[in-house]
Amino acid sequence: MRHATTLITLVAATPALAASKNPFSASFYSLSNTDFVVAIAFLLFVGVLFYFKVPSLLAGLLDKRAEGIKSELDEARSLREEAQSVLASYERKQLEVQDHADRIVAQAKESAAEAAELAKKDLAASIERRVQAAQDQIASAEQSAVRQVRDEAARIAVSAAGAVVAKEMSDAKAGSLIDDAIKTVEAKLH
């Protein structure tokens, strides 16, 4: 009923009614008046809409659409929360990986320092072995040189003694020495 009163008020406010001296005269309600025909058609259209419950259908469609939007928003919120939890998880994992990488780098530095220290010790031992080998070679060369000097001194002494003996030795003395040597050899051979 409320809608009908509003509709009559709208029809009453048309320019045709405003132009007539008597707004409710018979000429307004005739079918030759276009404003009246339009008003009746409008009322019938609105009546048909209400009869087929179009406003409630539109309201239901709008409610369904609103529920769909609300469910999409809820889903978007849940996806956002899930994305935030996944992001937090990845950030934790990144921190763990960074910590692990830092430990690996520290361990590698420590291993490198230990390897450098071991290399220094090995180098020192190698140098010491080489110095010892050089000292041994020097001592061996020294002994060889001393031996050569002794051998040369003995050879010179024997040569000098041979020369002195040859000068002082006579043929008879040489013959008797040869005979003594032959007897000594015969005695040792038998």
Domain boundaries, the chain: 2-78, 118-189
Note the pTM of the prediction, 2 decimals.
Answer: 0.38
Token pair for 117:
């220290």
Task: Measure Cα distances from 146 to 15, 141, 143, 160 in Å.
Answer: 150, 8, 5, 20
Query: What average pLDDT is seen over the chain?
Result: 84
The pLDDT of residue 146 is above 90: no
Using alpha carbons only, give the angle 17, 19, 24 rounded to the nearest 5 degrees.
35
The pLDDT of residue 6 is above 60: no
What band does 103 get if pLDDT is binned at 50, 70 and 90? very high
Token pair for 72:
């999409």
